[in-house]
Amino acid sequence: MAALEMRDLHLAFAGREGPLHVVRELSLEVAAREFVSVVGASGSGKTTVLRAVDGLLRPLRGEILVNGEPVRGPGPSRAVVFQRDCLLPWRTVLDNITLSLRLRAVPVAERMAAGLALIRLVGLRGFERHFPHQLSGGMRQRVNLARALAADPDVLLMDEPFAALDAQTREVMQLELLRVWRDRQKTVLFVTHQIDEAVYLSDRILVLTSRPARLREDIRVPFPRPRSLSVKRSPEFMALVDYIWGLIEDDVIAAAGIGDAAAP
């Protein structure tokens, strides 16, 4: 059974003149522990797909199944790593990470143990008692990731989590993410607009058309794991990035040129 399945998924926003179609006829399967990225031009509905899988947006038509169970709302089988880190400013690093456990009224001792283990996993030892405003952008995203992992979801939903980081920090975080993913054995759905990031991280890449988004191509990434950062400089890697870029180039230019098309 697929860890994540979308059947004839149609997504729409409520517009002034009826529903505004964002995603059409999306059908796909993601296997357990697979790392799948979603790429497409800005405004193509990548994040919308993620929100629907999380249960924050009800599909117009079709359905989403996680481990064979239809998604009806947010639930413990999925957790999101948000684009803006969305840490609670009034909670320490440890308390931010253990948020989902607190919401489920897990006993304090158990919460602490899980939280400290995650702090070690994401490399934040010594920062347990710090508040988010005392952390750098990269560290905040580590907390964001650890918080999602604390919920122990089957599917990890990542919404351009490294978009706001500088190029060097982003590379480190990509490497770190792969290490954590290996350690925790999660299914990952990763939204990004950085094609090289998608190629470096993923087993598969789903390329969406511009809005209303359909699946343009489902690409398997052939590079063996574990991947070092030097993979990014190999000709095969660059050729694949180029190929995917070619698929969405027209959409990207259209989105940038018209301007309106990029607006959510």
Binding region for other proteins (CB under 8 A): 54-56, 73-76, 79-80, 82, 84, 86, 88-91, 99-100, 102-103, 120-127, 130-139, 142, 151, 169, 172-173, 175-176, 179
**Cα–Cα distance between 151 and 115 in angstroms, integer?**
11
Q: Is the CB of 97 or the CB of 248 nearer to other proteins? A: 97
d(CA 207, CA 41): 9
Report the distance separating Cα 74 and Cα 29, nearest Å: 20
Shortest separation between residue 74's beta carbon and other proteins, angstroms: 5
Chain centroid to Cα 263, Å, comes to 21
* Least distance between other proteins and beta carbon 100 (Å): 5
CB nearer to other proteins: pick between 175 and 261: 175
Complex with other proteins: residue 42 or 169, whichever CB lies closer: 169
Q: How far is the CB of 95 from other proteins (least distance, A)?
A: 10
* Residue 34, phi then psi, degrees to nearest 5: -85, 145
How many angstroms separate the CA atoms of 125 and 106, rounded? 22
Q: Kindly state the smallest distance separating residue 57's Cβ from other proteins, in Å.
A: 11
Would you say 61 or 125 has its CB closer to other proteins? 125
Looking at beta carbons only, is 12 or 124 nearer to other proteins?
124
Spell out a b/e string for 205-242, using b for 16 or more CB atoms within 10 Å of the CB, else e.
bbbbbbbbbbbbeebebeeeeebeeeebeeeebeebbe
Q: Give me the least distance between CB of 257 and other proteins, in Å please.
A: 29
Rg (CA), the chain: 18
User: Minimal distance in Å, beta carbon 68 to other proteins?
Assistant: 20
Residue closer to other proteins by CB (options 145, 199) is: 145
Helix (H, G, I), strand (E, B) or coil at 219: strand
Q: What is the DSSP letter of 129?
A: T
